[in-house]
């Protein structure tokens, strides 16, 4: 550069053009940053993202029917499900052959339980006829139609074959339809009978209760955060311990504390009876219902509302409210027109966080919610561990996940995930 | 806001009703204990109003008045309800002596702005009382658990002996049960195995990634951050469901194909699952610490001939250590407190302490849970203190004024 006569691009010390050299160094820095991040990213992708994505696939995946009884599925293609007549001998022959293979591989009961989600009684039908079909010979014992109907009259029911045909597809929307109280039928999607409609109601209840919990958290957290933000640092740090201690205490400790407090013979009821506000034989029922869930979860999630609200309120300059007052605004006007609008980001951040956490809660509703106060998560857990209808559990989980991810995206837009603070 | 508001004595018409209503409130509890709430309210209100009148109009000596009230009410409490009553009586006496003169001398205005109207002052204190009630709501459940864990009976409520502060009513039997019962000890041991290993994994990987993320040019920073934080956001039940399917496949592979020990594979699955759940906390705390990190320090080190590894351990690590440790504590408590995922991923031999508590709460409800809860509360107080001290240290190191 000292040479004024030099023309062309600016050169770095080693003679390469400066632009190129800078680009290379930038690229190297980017690579180094990525190399630092990549082990963790791979770890999270492998052990968290892939499991969840594979769970999503499970909610539509339905290979079991066509894998277990492939010949029958092919033969059923030619059968008119609308006709109201039983399938012909070819279907029964194919089915016997399939079943013999499936019994050999011990797969027929799995198919039975799969189809049992769609039509009650299928599971026992497969199990019972399995024992008899095993004795049949695929060549010598033809024709099979009457023999099968004799083994179990279910095979003489048109509905059985319609169910098999409807659910023979390898990718199904059946679980999602079940998740919104509908079912897959030969005539397309239809509403479930009224006595089976529980999931929409459960989704509605989950949303409703999460909203109530979020609302009561806002109501309780606002005064506290205001107080903490406006007290001298020394005092507010001390009071902050009262907020952080529940935050750090084990979730199960807090839940068991609420169980102890809310029981029929619990601390609250005993105190009320002692005070004479409630008769001994008319103790309040505040556990194992929605009230129990709401009060316990409000307590558990309150710190998640206070912390973001507090950090926003700390930044509101007190001079604004003083200026408003000096210009003649009343207390209420000052609060509502000046202070409150500035605190809205805190309310928004806290509300989304609390709502996201509330909507997927499992432990607390399970323990203090009884049957009336449970959430959709408890239903998912039930289908995973008790009814073993994993497809439906995955479909319910997918719907819940979509709701949460939309909220997460909104949270990122409004607050930014970088700004999440802990303690 | 040290406003030097001049204070003046207040008229009886204001002091007496205020004192009477507080007296009525306390009288309600005394009345309830004696079986007649209404009489208690009336007696309490009348007694306190009379007391206030005597102190103000006749006695007019604050120090004497205070001792009379404290000792008198303590003795009254002892007559009514024994030792517990005396303690409550002494506290109530201290409160009323303070309250009467606080009102009468107008001291409640001393720290407020001079131009506030009476109504504003009232709202100020009403607001404080509301906040106090909310703080009580926050802390009561935790405080209730502590004394109940020393219950001599197998009940979840305060027995009459406990309320009388009778030593007979208290015992350490639930703690003894926790330390001798095999079920509890095994689950406690499992937690102590799983949580530290999961913490080490998430802290090591998380710190490296946080350092990478804090560099100035990271392509797709926002998306990466979104993925890394997602284990905290995705409902636990969904993570648990996904991991349940995935890890059972992995487990079958490790046991069947590689022939590993079943028990060992179980631990590996739970540790990996918990490590993922702890990662967001490490990322958040460490990136927050790195925000104030002066990059010219690493350049200075490089300038003096230190390699990247040496720079990291000698320069960067000591400075961000407080953040790393508090992230690690978060990750530890996440794993130590986690139920849902271990419930789905683990098998009975990996039963952790929270799992044992969960089954305890759902099925055979035993007061040992309260003893465990108390131990965990003490543990969380210790962790909270550590995190708070680390935060202050980190702020000092970075040259920020300590909050």
Q: Which of A30, A31, A45, A48 should be substituted to probe chain B, the one whose Cβ sees the most B Cβ atoms within 10 Å? A: A48
Binned at pLDDT 50, 70 and 90, residue A180 comes out as: confident
Q: Does A285 touch chain B (CB under 8 A)?
A: no
Longest dimension (CA), chain A: 105
| 3-class SS of residue B60 | coil
| 3-class SS of residue B264 | helix
**Which of residues B402 and B65 earns the better pLDDT score?**
B65
Q: Does B131 touch chain A (CB under 8 A)?
A: yes
- Tens digits of residue pLDDT in A43-61: 999 989 999 998 888 888 8
CB A206 within 8 A of CB A375: yes
Distant-in-sequence, close-in-space partners of A19: CB < 8 Å, separation ≥ 6: A9, A10
- C-alpha closest to that of B341 among A179, A47, A57: A47
pLDDT of the residue at A110: 83
- C-alpha closest to that of A108 among A131, A92, A88: A131
Q: Which residues of A touch B346 (CB under 8 A)?
A: none
Q: Which of A252, A381, A423 should be substituted to probe chain B, the one whose Cβ sees the most B Cβ atoms within 10 Å? A: A252
Structure tokens at A370: 């009884």
pLDDT at B4 over 70: no
Binned at pLDDT 50, 70 and 90, residue A1 comes out as: very low
Q: Which residues of B touch A47 (CB under 8 A)?
A: 243, 246, 272-273, 275-276
Binned at pLDDT 50, 70 and 90, residue A422 comes out as: low
Residues constituting chain B: 403
Contact A246 B139 (CB under 8 A): yes
Q: Which residues of B touch A393 (CB under 8 A)?
A: 241
Stated pTM of the model: 0.85
The whole-angstrom separation of Cα A68 and Cα B343 is 31
Per-domain boundaries in chain B: 12-115, 181-397
Give ipTM to 2 decimals.
0.85
Question: Nearest C-alpha of chain A: how many angstroms from B53?
Answer: 29
pLDDT of the residue at B136: 94
**Mean pLDDT computed over B113-128:** 86
Q: Does A279 touch chain B (CB under 8 A)?
A: no
Interface contacts A/B by beta carbons within 8 Å: 279
- Tens digits of residue pLDDT in A272-304: 887 777 788 888 888 888 999 999 999 999 999
Proportion of chain A above pLDDT 70, given as a percent: 97
Proportion of chain B above pLDDT 70, given as a percent: 97
Q: Which candidate from A241, A244, A263 shows the least CB-CB separation from B156?
A: A263
Contact A55 B241 (CB under 8 A): yes
- C-alpha closest to that of A171 among A56, A59, A54, A61: A61
pLDDT of the residue at B190: 93
CB B6 within 8 A of CB B114: yes
Q: Which candidate from A40, A302, A408 shows the least CB-CB separation from B205?
A: A40
pLDDT at B402 over 60: no
Q: State the alpha helices, DSSP H only, in A314-375.
A: 318-326, 331-333, 340-359, 363-368
- Tokens 């946080």 locate to B210
Q: Which candidate from B156, B218, B235 shows the least CB-CB separation from A360?
A: B235
DSSP, res A85: S
The whole-angstrom separation of Cα A249 and Cα A241 is 12
Binned at pLDDT 50, 70 and 90, residue B364 comes out as: low
Binned at pLDDT 50, 70 and 90, residue A6 comes out as: low
- Tens digits of residue pLDDT in A115-129: 888 888 888 888 888
CATH of domain B181-397: 1.10.3720.10
Q: Which candidate from A366, A400, A422 shows the least CB-CB separation from B330?
A: A422
pLDDT at B167 over 70: yes
Please give the backbone phi and psi of residue B151, each rounded to the nearest 5 degrees, phi first.
-60, 135
- Tokens 């995190």 locate to B387
Q: Does A266 touch chain B (CB under 8 A)?
A: yes
pLDDT of the residue at A419: 65
- Tens digits of residue pLDDT in B30-42: 887 777 778 888 9
Q: Which candidate from A299, A390, A397 shows the least CB-CB separation from B238?
A: A397
Surface of B (355-374) touching A: CB under 8 A: 357-358, 361-362, 369-370, 373
Binned at pLDDT 50, 70 and 90, residue B1 comes out as: very low
Q: Does A41 touch chain B (CB under 8 A)?
A: yes
The whole-angstrom separation of Cα B38 and Cα B32 is 9
**Mean pLDDT computed over B135-163:** 85
Q: Does A118 touch chain B (CB under 8 A)?
A: no
Structure tokens at A296: 């316990």
């Amino acid at each position: 550069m000292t040479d004024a006569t030099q023309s062309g691009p600016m050169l770095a010390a080693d003679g390469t053009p400066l632009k190129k050299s800078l680009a290379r160094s930038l690229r190297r820095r980017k690579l180094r940053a990525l190399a630092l991040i990549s082990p963790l990213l791979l770890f999270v992708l492998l052990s968290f993202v892939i499991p969840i994505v594979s769970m999503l696939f499970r909610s539509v995946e339905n290979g079991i029917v066509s894998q277990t009884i492939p010949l029958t599925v092919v033969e059923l293609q030619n059968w008119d499900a609308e006709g109201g007549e039983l399938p012909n001998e070819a279907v029964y022959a194919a089915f016997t052959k399939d079943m013999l293979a499936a019994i050999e591989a011990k797969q027929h009961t799995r198919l039975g339980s799969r189809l049992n989600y769609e039509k009650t009684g299928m599971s026992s039908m497969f199990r019972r006829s399995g024992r008899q079909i095993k004795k049949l010979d695929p060549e010598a014992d033809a024709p099979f139609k009457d023999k099968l109907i004799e083994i179990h009259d279910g095979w003489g029911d048109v509905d059985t074959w319609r169910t098999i045909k409807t659910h023979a597809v390898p990718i199904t929307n059946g679980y999602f339809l079940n998740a919104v109280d509908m079912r897959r039928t030969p005539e397309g999607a239809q509403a479930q009978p009224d006595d089976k409609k529980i999931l929409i109601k459960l989704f509605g209840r989950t949303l409703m209760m999460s909203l109530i919990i979020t609302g009561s958290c806002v109501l309780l957290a606002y005064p506290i955060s205001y107080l903490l933000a406006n007290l001298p640092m020394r005092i507010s740090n001390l009071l902050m311990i009262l907020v952080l201690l529940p935050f750090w205490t084990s979730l199960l400790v807090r839940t068991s504390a609420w169980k102890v407090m809310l029981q029929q013979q619990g601390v609250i009821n005993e105190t009320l009876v002692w005070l004479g506000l409630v008769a001994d034989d008319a103790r309040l029922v505040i556990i194992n219902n929605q009230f129990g869930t709401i009060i316990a979860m409000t307590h558990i999630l309150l710190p998640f509302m206070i912390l973001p609200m507090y950090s926003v309120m700390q930044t509101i300059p007190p001079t604004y409210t003083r200026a408003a007052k000096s210009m003649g605004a009343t207390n209420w006007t000052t609060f509502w027109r000046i202070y409150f609008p500035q605190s809205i980001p805190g309310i928004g951040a806290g509300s989304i966080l609390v709502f996201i956490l509330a909507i997927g809660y499992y432990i607390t509703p399970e323990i203090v919610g009884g049957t009336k106060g449970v959430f959709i998560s408890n239903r998912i857990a039930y289908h995973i561990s008790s009814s073993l209808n994993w497809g439906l559990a995955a479909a319910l989980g997918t719907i819940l996940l979509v709701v949460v991810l939309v909220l997460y995206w909104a949270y990122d837009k409004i607050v930014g995930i970088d700004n999440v603070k802990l303690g | 806001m040290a406003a030097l508001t001049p204070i003046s004595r207040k008229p009886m018409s204001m002091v007496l009703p205020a004192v009477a209503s507080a007296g009525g409130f306390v009288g309600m509890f005394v009345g309830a204990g004696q079986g007649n709430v209404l009489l208690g309210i009336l007696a309490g209100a009348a007694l306190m109003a009379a007391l206030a009148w005597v102190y103000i109009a006749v006695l007019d000596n604050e120090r004497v008045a205070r001792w009379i009230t404290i000792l008198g009410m303590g003795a009254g409490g002892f007559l009514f309800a024994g030792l517990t009553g005396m303690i409550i009586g002494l506290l109530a006496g201290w409160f009323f002596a303070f309250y009467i003169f606080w009102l009468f001398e107008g001291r409640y205005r001393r720290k407020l702005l001079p131009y506030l109207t009476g109504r504003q002052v009232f709202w100020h204190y009403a607001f404080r009382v509301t906040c106090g009630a909310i703080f009580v709501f926050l802390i009561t459940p935790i405080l209730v658990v502590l004394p109940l864990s020393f219950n001599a009976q197998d009940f979840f409520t305060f027995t009459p002996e406990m309320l009388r502060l009778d030593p007979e009513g208290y015992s350490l039997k639930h703690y003894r049960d926790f330390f001798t019962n095999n079920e509890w000890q095994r689950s406690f041991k499992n937690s102590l195995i799983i949580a530290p290993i999961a913490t080490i994994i998430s802290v090591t990987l998380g710190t490296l990634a946080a350092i990478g993320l804090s560099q100035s040019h990271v392509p797709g920073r926002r998306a990466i951050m979104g993925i890394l934080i997602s284990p905290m956001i995705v409902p636990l039940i969904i993570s648990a469901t996904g991991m349940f399917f995935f890890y059972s496949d992995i487990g079958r592979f490790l046991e069947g194909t590689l022939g590993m020990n079943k028990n060992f594979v179980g631990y590996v699955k739970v540790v990996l699952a918990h490590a993922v759940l702890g990662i967001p906390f490490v990322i958040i705390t460490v990136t927050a610490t790195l925000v104030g990190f002066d990059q010219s320090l690493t350049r200075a080190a490089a300038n003096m001939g230190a390699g990247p590894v040496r720079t990291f351990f000698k320069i960067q690590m000591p400075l961000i250590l407080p953040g790393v440790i508090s992230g690690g504590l978060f990750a530890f408590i996440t794993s130590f407190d986690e139920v849902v995922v271990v419930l789905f991923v683990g098998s009975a031999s990996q039963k952790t302490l929270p799992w044992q508590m969960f089954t305890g709460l759902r099925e055979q409800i035993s007061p040992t849970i309260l003893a465990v809860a108390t131990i965990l509360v003490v543990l969380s107080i210790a962790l909270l203190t550590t995190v708070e001290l680390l935060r202050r240290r980190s702020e000092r190191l970075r040259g920020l004024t300590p909050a």
